[in-house]
Structure 1
């Protein structure tokens, strides 16, 4: 049987679960954890196990099942199971849910992070198309969009006109 990770004194099961899920990578953008990406919305104790509420980036996301399985596996391997994952599609996921650390990780990974959209319920506009995307490699704002879609539907392909390198931009939604 694998050795269980050490838990910090006074750490609750919920705190431990958040820490564990902070190391579960998103299968489509492995530079981010499912927590950094803002997919995990809530963790609650349910008897001897945990309930995890997840909001997918969009309702047809092909990685949803893989993400749910990774969440269950990580928590159960840490001794926090059994785990029940519930999908919550409303409110819809937004790039504003990506953590500040997640934005920095995207940049370091070579993906231009999305700008903040703001809270539409407070009257802030939601931007679908970004302008002035900064190159994550050299920092130049002299870039051009090559394609509305990159390796996934949530990213677009750009090229820097200064360093000439192609890069993906995580679209703000």
Structure 2
């Protein structure tokens, strides 16, 4: 998870206890399209900063530039933070740096797999930090049986960020969270 305020705050001595609590609350909001993972686990929560008494700014980066769930994410984060006593919550959409599937935490990947969604593979090559395109025919593990004998049925599934695949071994269809 990339939290811009965390980077700034470390240089200045750390997040305030209020910011830490608000970050925890906002980060625990479930993703509206994949409610098995939180916004923090998905890596879309980019920053938080208390700007005054009862005032907080939140930065979210969508998984896709035109993500239809972004408005719901902002509304859900706003509701949670207002319930925590913040009277003014401003949510900013941050498009740079762009979100990638590498932002999904290990816990988020585990939860996706447990829910029957094949998690994306890391984009970096062999821990080198070198990123590259991911071919569509690379082995995708079936989240039901673990087989790599899977095939692409459709490049798009229930959301633009997932493709539909099926397993040749167990016969089950499943979503695969596309690598971005």
Q: What is the TM-score of this pair, normalised by structure 2?
A: 0.84
Q: What is the alpha-carbon distance in structure 1 between the residues aligned to residue 137 and residue 83 of structure 2?
A: 40
Q: What is the alpha-carbon distance in structure 1 between the residues aligned to residue 135 and residue 48 of structure 2?
A: 30
Gaps of 5+ in 1: 1-10
Aligned to 2:96: 90
How many residues matched? Answer: 161
**Correspondence 1:12 to 2:17:** yes
- What is the Cα deviation at residue 81 of structure 1? 4.1
- What is the Cα deviation at residue 130 of structure 1? 5.7
- Mapping for residues 1-173 of structure 1, pairs under 5 Å: 12-48=17-53, 49-118=55-124, 123-127=130-134, 129=136, 131-173=138-180
Q: 1:58 to 1:128 in 2, by over 3 A?
A: farther
Q: Is the 8 A contact 1:129 1:172 kept in 2?
A: no
Q: What is the alpha-carbon distance in structure 1 between the residues aligned to residue 21 and residue 50 of structure 2?
A: 12
Cα root mean square deviation, aligned: 1.6
CA deviations 1:46-95 (Å, max 9, x no partner) are 11221111111111111111110101001111224421111111111100
Instruction: State the secondary structure of the residue aligned to 1:35.
Output: helix
Q: 1:130 to 1:36 in 2, by over 3 A?
A: farther
Q: Which runs of 4+ in 1 moved over 6 A?
A: none
Q: Is the 8 A contact 2:19 2:50 kept in 1?
A: yes
